[in-house]
Amino acid sequence: MSAASAKPSHETLRGTVTAAFGRHYEVSLGDTPSASARRLRCVPRGKKSVYACGDEVEVAATGSEQGVILTLHPRANLLWRSDAFREKLIASNLSRIAIVVATEPGFSDLLISRCIVAAEHQQIGTLIVLNKADLDHKLAHARELLAPFAALGYPVAEVSALDGAEALLPLVAGERSIFVGQSGMGKSTLTNALIPEAQAATREISEALNSGKHTTTFARLYPVAGGGWLIDSPGLQAFGFAHLSQEELAWSFIEFREHLGRCRFRDCRHETDPGCALHAAIETGAIDPRRFEHFCLIRDEIRQSDKQARGW
């Protein structure tokens, strides 16, 4: 074989998916995304290929700013949203889910438990960010809602995006994080405070899409000074664990783990079954009743969506 024919006709380039717009993807070239990296607007080669922010891919350039995604490197993990009928990829290869809540407007602690289930299930670290700490008349109430999570060892960082978010920088540097949480919590404001390029990028995209709005409608990945990257995402309500078994769900509540397998009946549903070890742990205070309530609510949701998916 001649040297010339051994060389692939299309040089493949490694890159990371930094945004998805329908069937188009922005890919930042290089081993890791950086502010100065060349970016290509890419289409997937396969009709059914779908990619998520954070995906590591091989692309072929088809122009100075355009390319085709050829292959996907194996994902370390994947976060998706789902209901009974649809799934949409959100992000992959994460080291940390940063759940952003705020003193105002109020937030749902159930949503925090949901995010933690997604994180624990995918073996991704959790960070809780309490934003808008400047609105201090609401601070005590927010801290109270977060206390059960802090007691489990989940770190809680109090910040104010308006006063600068420097306190968060060491927590996101070197990590591959995603900001999740209800809309209005300040995820985009925090992203802009942490990443100087973010503001410009948001403006560019809302102009390109001609939306004229700066609300986040899709996930977007930004390189972080000091290494790693951060994804700003739109408000998330439903994570993809529609098909999690009850056992997997219970395991995702880390404080349940030591009690699992200790119920009188092996197939205990942890409902009104006699000799339930989880109920006993609630009695002794080892399990917070709010967290058990979250477990029941998420379990019921999963049951409901399983039924819907099967057409019941």
Ligand X SMILES: Nc1nc2c(ncn2[C@@H]2O[C@H](COP(=O)(O)OP(=O)(O)O)[C@@H](O)[C@H]2O)c(=O)[nH]1
Q: What residue ranges bind ligand X (CB under 6 A)?
A: 131-132, 134-135, 160-162, 183-189, 216, 235
State how far the alpha carbon of 113 is from the alpha carbons of 108, 151, 160, 279, in Å. Answer: 9, 13, 23, 19
97 binds, among Mg ion, Zn ion, ligand X, none (CB under 5 to 8 A by kind): none
The footprint of Mg ion on residues 180-219 (CB under 5 A) is: 187-188, 216
Cα(41)–Cα(64) distance, integer angstroms: 10
Q: Binding residue for Zn ion (CB under 5 A) from 268, 281, 298, 302?
A: 268
185 binds, among Zn ion, Mg ion, ligand X, none (CB under 5 to 8 A by kind): ligand X
Cα(22)–Cα(252) distance, integer angstroms: 32
Mapped onto helix, strand or coil, the DSSP state of residue 1 is: coil
In the complex, the smallest distance separating the C-beta of residue 178 from ligand X, rounded to whole angstroms, is: 12
In the complex, the smallest distance separating the C-beta of residue 184 from Mg ion, rounded to whole angstroms, is: 8
In the complex, the smallest distance separating the C-beta of residue 254 from Zn ion, rounded to whole angstroms, is: 17
Nearer to ligand X, 122 or 160 (CB): 160
Closest residue by Cα to residue 134 from 99, 186, 91, 95: 186
Q: What are phi and psi of 87, to 5 degrees?
A: -130, 140
Q: Binding residue for Zn ion (CB under 5 A) from 115, 193, 221, 263?
A: 263
Nearer to ligand X, 60 or 135 (CB): 135
134 binds, among Mg ion, ligand X, Zn ion, none (CB under 5 to 8 A by kind): ligand X
In the complex, the smallest distance separating the C-beta of residue 266 from ligand X, rounded to whole angstroms, is: 43
Closest residue by Cα to residue 10 from 57, 74, 72, 70: 70
113 binds, among Mg ion, ligand X, Zn ion, none (CB under 5 to 8 A by kind): none
Q: Tell me the CA end-to-end span of the chain in Å, nearest whole number.
A: 61
132 binds, among Mg ion, ligand X, Zn ion, none (CB under 5 to 8 A by kind): ligand X
In 137-154, which positions are buried (b, 16+ CB within 10 angstroms) versus exposed (e)?
A: eebeebeebbebbeeeeb
In the complex, the smallest distance separating the C-beta of residue 185 from Mg ion, rounded to whole angstroms, is: 8
Pairing of strands 56-61, 12-21: antiparallel
Nearer to ligand X, 135 or 309 (CB): 135
The alpha carbons of the chain give a radius of gyration, in whole angstroms, of 22
By CB under 5 A, is residue 233 in contact with Mg ion? no
